[in-house]
Amino acid sequence: MKHIYLVRHCKATGQEPDAPLTELGVKQAEQLAEFFSGKEIDSIVSSPFERAHRTIKPLADKLGLDISLDERLTERVLSDQDLPDWYEMLRKTYDDLDLFYAGGESSRTAMSRVSSVIHEVLNGASQHTVVVSHGNLMSLLLKHFDDQIGFKEWETLSNPDVYQLSFENDSLSIRRVWID
């Protein structure tokens, strides 16, 4: 059996790639390191965005593990334009997986990108991997494995959040394991 812990980053100052964690976010990262103590984590893969890899750095330091940065874990771009009604536009992309806006990527494209990381992890030697990403991309990955997951689940994600994906043979179980 393989376990993948899908982690949404801790509280950050913004959405830009170099946005740092807030003071609260730094404390949350320490709490995450404690949360994972006792679990046999043997690899860590993270979005290269500052808020993502800083979220998991305390755990990596504690375990003496390197953080593998993977561009495929960066947040999904809804559009490269300012969208005053972005919330409603985002909701629509959960209903129509091929819908995309100017300069953005469709849900299906983002799902394909992030699921390729998971499939590589599953084919690798690690048994307990932490994968750190972003809210929208994380919810799309969960939707990739369970079509019942959608916009409503994205809305309920916390910063941080952790879902455990357990794979055994052709069976998958998904459960939220973070209590905020």
- Listing DSSP states for 83-152 in one string gives -TTHHHHHHHHHH-TT---TT---HHHHHHHHHHHHHHHHHSS-SEEEEEE-HHHHHHHHHHH-TT--HH
Q: What is the pLDDT of residue 169?
A: 87
In order along its 180 residues, the chain shows pLDDT tens digits of 999 999 999 999 999 999 999 999 999 999 999 999 889 999 999 999 999 999 999 999 999 999 999 999 999 999 999 889 999 999 999 999 999 999 999 999 999 999 999 999 999 999 999 999 999 999 999 999 999 999 999 999 999 999 999 999 889 999 999 987
The pTM of this model reads 0.96
Q: What is the pLDDT of residue 179?
A: 81
